[in-house]
């Protein structure tokens, strides 16, 4: 293996990376470093315990909250979504099930359709972002989205599907989605610094998300003020590493349901990847990935059970996590 510290330093410098990099092998930390500023206006640096927005990384946590309810018999993977949400979302077809949503095979229309090549730095929200503070608040954004294809026909990444799953969780439990995730996923995993924070009242250890390499303009007007099932949770590298340990050990849902979540529903996509339930899977091997990308946010966390290898790259800029994570993958493969 090449000198990991030197490789990280080189790619961080080349791409102006701002964030945290951590690599663990067999329970020991091989590398941990923080770079750039969490708050440019006040010159506050990122630190190893900085909380970063992670966009779609939270889809894995949403999936676990849902699968936990399935494991308890309160839902089924084959439960029709309309039987839970009723007439609140009339555009969702009667054939769409919980499993279709979890696997991005529902065909429902997306309020943020990534197949249309969205520019993360643009103002893409269709309703005022301050109204998106609760899952119910997303309903106006979800309505009026025509079906793209029959449920189960193919894979199409769908943000709306995971907001609908958050709504399902609330309807089944009678508890706010954010609280369910914190109680049923984060607490069981020991993720003590992970929460759905409001972007307009971030605590001291949370990084602001920046739109450009320089300047003070943040993403506060680009994203929901508080995320839901599809994105928006804040976390640390340490918490993500705790997550992988807890998930694979069956401490969030039991090992039978871990295996079910890791079973590919789409195999293989154009880029070689597969997809299970809320989790990206390598085309070959046992690598499992959570990632996220949005205005002022980019994040990748990867675990390889066969090698006991985990690494995470969390950034408070839109694009810079990808070159760092790609270089890590190359170096750690040698």
- Residue range 133-152, pLDDT digits in tens: 999 999 999 999 999 999 99
Place of tokens 């066969």: 306
d(CA 322, CA 240): 17
- Model's pTM, two decimal places? 0.96
Average the pLDDT over 51-68 and give the result.
Answer: 98
The yes-or-no verdict on residue 1 having pLDDT over 60 is: no
How much is the pLDDT for 89? 94
Whether omega before 268 lies within 30 degrees of 0, making that bond cis, reads yes
246-304 pLDDT per residue, tens: 999 999 999 999 999 999 999 978 788 999 999 999 999 999 999 999 999 999 999 99
Helix 4-15 to helix 321-332 angle, to the nearest 10 degrees?
A: 160
Query: 37-59, pLDDT tens digit by residue?
Result: 999 999 999 999 999 999 999 99
CB 232 within 8 A of CB 223: yes
d(CA 170, CA 293): 25
Check residue 208 and report its DSSP letter.
P
How many whole angstroms separate alpha carbon 117 and alpha carbon 115? Answer: 5
Q: pLDDT tens digit string along 3-14?
A: 999 999 999 999
Domains by residue range for the chain, with CATH: 4-332 (3.40.710.10)
Q: Are 312 and 7 in contact (CB under 8 A)?
A: no
209-228 residues labelled b (16+ CB within 10 A) or e (exposed):
bbbeeeeeebbbebbbbbbb
**pLDDT tens, 142-189?**
999 999 999 999 999 999 999 999 999 999 999 999 999 999 999 999
The pLDDT assigned to 120 comes to: 67
Please write the tens of the pLDDT for every residue from 191-236: 999 999 999 999 999 999 999 999 999 999 999 999 999 999 999 9
CA distances from 201 to 21, 36, 99, 301 (A): 25, 21, 35, 26
Report how far apart, in Å, the C-alpha atoms of 272 and of each of 161, 242, 281, 284 are.
Answer: 23, 27, 9, 8
Which residue in the block uniquely carries the two structure tokens 């696997």?
103
pLDDT of residue 124 exceeding 80, the answer is: no
CA distance 317 to 215: 12
In this prediction, residue 117 carries a pLDDT of 62
Strands 44-45 and 52-53: unpaired
- Asked whether the predicted pLDDT for residue 116 surpasses 70, the reply is no
Instruction: Provide CB contacts within 8 A for 137, sequence distance 6+.
Output: 131
pLDDT tens-place string over residues 79-111: 999 999 999 999 999 999 999 999 999 999 998
Once rounded to an integer, what is the mean pLDDT over residues 111-132? 77
Q: Give the closest residue to 303 by CA, choosing from 104, 10, 26.
A: 26
Does residue 115 surpass a pLDDT of 80?
no
Token digits for 121?
């730095």
């Amino acid at each position: 293996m090449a000198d990991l510290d030197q490789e990280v330093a080189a790619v961080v410098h080349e791409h102006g990376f701002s964030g945290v990099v951590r690599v663990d092998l067999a329970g020991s930390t091989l590398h941990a470093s923080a770079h750039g500023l969490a708050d440019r206006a006040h010159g506050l640096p990122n630190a190893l315990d900085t909380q970063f927005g992670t966009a779609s990384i939270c889809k894995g946590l949403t999936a676990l909250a849902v699968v936990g309810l399935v494991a308890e018999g309160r839902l089924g993977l084959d439960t029709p979504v309309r039987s839970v949400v009723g007439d609140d979302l009339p555009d969702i077809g009667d054939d769409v099930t919980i499993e279709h949503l979890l696997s991005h095979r529902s065909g429902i229309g997306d309020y943020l359709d990534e197949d249309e090549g969205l520019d993360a730095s643009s103002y893409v929200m269709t309703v005022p972002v301050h109204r998106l503070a609760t899952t119910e608040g997303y309903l106006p954004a979800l309505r009026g989205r025509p079906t793209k294809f029959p449920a189960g026909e193919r894979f199409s990444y769908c943000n709306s599907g995971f907001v609908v799953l958050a709504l399902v969780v609330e309807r089944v439990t009678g508890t706010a989605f954010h609280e369910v995730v914190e109680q049923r996923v984060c607490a069981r995993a020991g993720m003590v610094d992970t929460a759905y924070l409001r972007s307009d009242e971030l605590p001291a250890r949370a990084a602001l998300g920046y739109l450009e390499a320089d300047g003070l303009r943040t993403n506060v007007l680009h994203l929901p003020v508080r995320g839901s099932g599809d994105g928006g949770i804040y976390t640390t590298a340490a918490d993500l590493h705790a997550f992988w340990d807890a998930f694979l050990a069956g401490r969030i849902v039991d090992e039978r349901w871990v295996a079910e979540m890791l079973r590919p529903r789409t195999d293989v996509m154009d880029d070689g990847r597969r997809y299970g339930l809320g989790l990206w899977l390598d085309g070959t091997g046992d690598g499992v990935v959570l990632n996220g990308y949005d205005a002022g946010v980019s994040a990748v966390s990867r675990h390889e059970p066969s090698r006991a290898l985990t690494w995470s790259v969390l950034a408070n800029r839109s694009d810079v996590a990808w070159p760092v994570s790609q270089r890590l993958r190359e170096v750690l493969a040698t």
